[in-house]
Structure 1
Amino acid sequence: MMKKVAMIAAAAAMVLPLGMGAIAPANDSVTAFAATKTAAKKVTHTLISAKTIKKAAYHVKSGKPALYSAKFAADQAKVTMTKKGTLAGSKTYYATKKIVVKVKATKTTKAKKVTYAYIKTANGKTAGWVALSKLTAGKFMAADGKADAKKAADKVAAKTYTLVSAKNLKKTAFHFKGNTPAFYSGKFAADKSKVTLTKKGLLPQSKTFYATKTITIKKAKKNVKYNYVTNGKTKGWVLASQLTAGKFMAAD
């Protein structure tokens, strides 16, 4: 066992020559990634393997992957990772090193192996370790940015309708079977019968939603109903015709 630890530590020393030093970005500027406002939390993992890889391009397709600095122990197979911020989208990052660590089990999750890649931008201003599963292989292309922009535009598009009626409902369970329905926030005018619906996103799959309110609006000269549904953090107005009465069952 001691021999294996020594071998891993030696491999890490060759791939990561800074030893006990933290691998930090060449520039501490936070313009390329969002800096965390709270005190950085350090987590130590068992280092399973470390190696240099052929320079490969990656980009972020969705979300904001966490970016870490890493401090490698010189005499044992351990690495301490500290969150520095999050990666920005619309950029190409280049990976040159890779490590595999063992993340300890918690009360809610099992122990698991996670692969991290050491990435940096072409100008070297952003650099650090990122979970490889959060990256997409290949250079960032403008089309990716357009798709993200379209999603953002869809999300914030707002339309105002005439409010025909509004009432409370006895808490009722619903789910959906076909296409994934959009859900909206609703802003009601104080001095006239108008409501502005703004798309927030899509309902999550395989869930039960509970309706507590319903409204009828005038849409394309037709009366259309929307139900206000909730499920945890998901809350909003959904086209009633896209919902099916009853709780979601696995058979659905």
Structure 2
Amino acid sequence: MMKKVAMVAAAAAMVLPLGLGAIAPAMGTTTAFAATKTAAKKTTYNLKSATTLKKTAYHVKTGKPTLFSGAFAADRAKVTFAKKGTLKTGTTYYATKKVVVTTKATKKAKAKTMTCVYVKTANGKVKGWVAFGDLAAGKATKKAVVKKATKKATTKKAVKADKATGKTYTLLKAKTLKKTAYHYKAAAPAFYTGKFAADQSKVTLTKKGVLPASKTFYATKEITVKQNKKNVKYLYVTNNKTKGFVQANKLTAGAFKAAD
């Protein structure tokens, strides 16, 4: 009678400090636990002992051990476990309580003893009972994540991205010109497409590329825009498939000659 009262008191005191005790796995712990956790969603066991532990770190090496909730009977030495989830590798769990329970003997199997510990994560979001044999001592070590090297943007991609960026300017003046020949002497200037707003004096210039070398270009239009607080002139030039707006100060009047 006194032994039964002691077990009931231990079950009722699982939420109170009970003194420190060493964790020692019982024989057949994992096998017995695996057999019972698949048998039913809720299983009641005889409570053999209950101990509060010094907070100790554990982790899962392999697999996904089942995590259980535990309901302790108030008037007898019994505990009922119900599956609530699983634990995973790569996470540290802290054990604070231990119970030793026995399974009920059947015609086909003898009663077996198993040890379970109450664990929870550092943030307390995951907590419950797990078979002690499914845990390994110590904190989990996370594998280093190797980031795949990203390819640097090539010059070609950079130029393509630059082409797609358009800038909008205030249109001050626009006029048609008599077809006039031009060429350039220094570095190849950029040429742009021009998109004119229908309801306001605005034009958006978007880079298409640079003018080809050793060519004559023919200007047929001229626009003046407000750019960086300055009045800047652009000429609309063509040469076969090349056509667009070019800053006027980048061009030289006259047809291209090899002597240039």
TM range (shorter): 0.3 to 0.5
- Which structure shows the higher strand fraction? 1
Normalization by structure 1: what TM-score?
0.46
Higher gyration radius (CA): 2
When the two structures are superposed, what TM-score results if normalisation uses the length of structure 2?
0.44
